[in-house]
Structure 1
Amino acid sequence: MHKRRKFSSGCFLRGKFYVIGGRNEYNEHLTCGERYDEETNSWTLIPDMLGSMTFMPSQSPPLIAVANNNLYSLEAYSNELRVYDVNANSWKKLGVAPVISNVGFGWGVAFKSIGNRLLLIGNSSPHSSCATMRAFTCRRPSPDVEELVWEELNTNYGNVQFDHFIRNCCVMFA
């Protein structure tokens, strides 16, 4: 890779492996990304891949998910959902997320893909005394829409109480 980084995120997109954001050895936020091509066994630096995003001092790694061969991001600072245009190296805003990501600087939120759907789990209130975990899915995410449409999942599990902070989230299906 061209840049040393920690607290970055990675994903497979259109046959290539992307590493996005993170911090350098001086703990400064990196706005660049990198793309690995297995056929050429080489990394390509993508300058300012996150240049339009705002970072907070103790922010989580970038919240990203790939669905329908498109890269989506939940920007923790503004609580906005975005989709990446690979050809233009730019992000299109797709509205505000139905959960609160900016209170915990992106920590405690799960933003994942399930096949061609997006999954979002997080706190629904900015006040910790009213914290309620809610889960949403977007069945047909597309870069062509002005705003993503989210459906709330039924999370009523009887007397089970969920913490208002997600520590780890992995999605697997067969």
Structure 2
Amino acid sequence: MKTAAAAALSLGFATLALAQTTVAEPWVRGTVATQKSTGAFMRITSAQGGSLVGVSSPVAGVVQVHEMKMDGGVMKMGAVDALALPAGQAVELKPGGYHVMLMDLKQPLKAGDTVPLTLTVKGKDGKTETVEVKAPVRALGAPAAMPMGGASGAMPMHDHMHMQGQ
């Protein structure tokens, strides 16, 4: 009996270790026929803390984590090598802030489609975790607000200025 209890306890810890990072309310902004890039948005929580160090998707040739920030009165956008995920705190990827850029799209994305994303998270312990996400596509003109997340206006996609040295 003691061995069975120990095995069950070990399984419980293994299950927790596999689910250190969770993703809530993912979505991707739809595109028009000639558009070759769009954004993916979500809320990421890492139980132990770490960094989002990569994202991939079969729908795009290039996938990067981007930030938007004011620089001398100009809004600039560019890729970041890693996005800090403080332990137990939700990090919002949203229009106008950090987000995932899907570039060199292989086809237009329309409302009702689902985009598979694979997030790579490096924990504070140095171990890498992958999180599979299925993000629904929202219509291009749909509000950017997350369900139950309040209202905010949709931001049009535009050409990116890539920052050097980031």
TM over 0.5: no
Q: TM-score, normalised by structure 1?
A: 0.25
Give the number of the structure whose residues are more often helix, by fraction. Answer: 2
Q: Which has the higher contact order (CA 8 A, sep 6+)?
A: 2
TM-score, normalised to structure 2, is 0.26
In terms of fraction of residues, the more strand-rich structure is 2
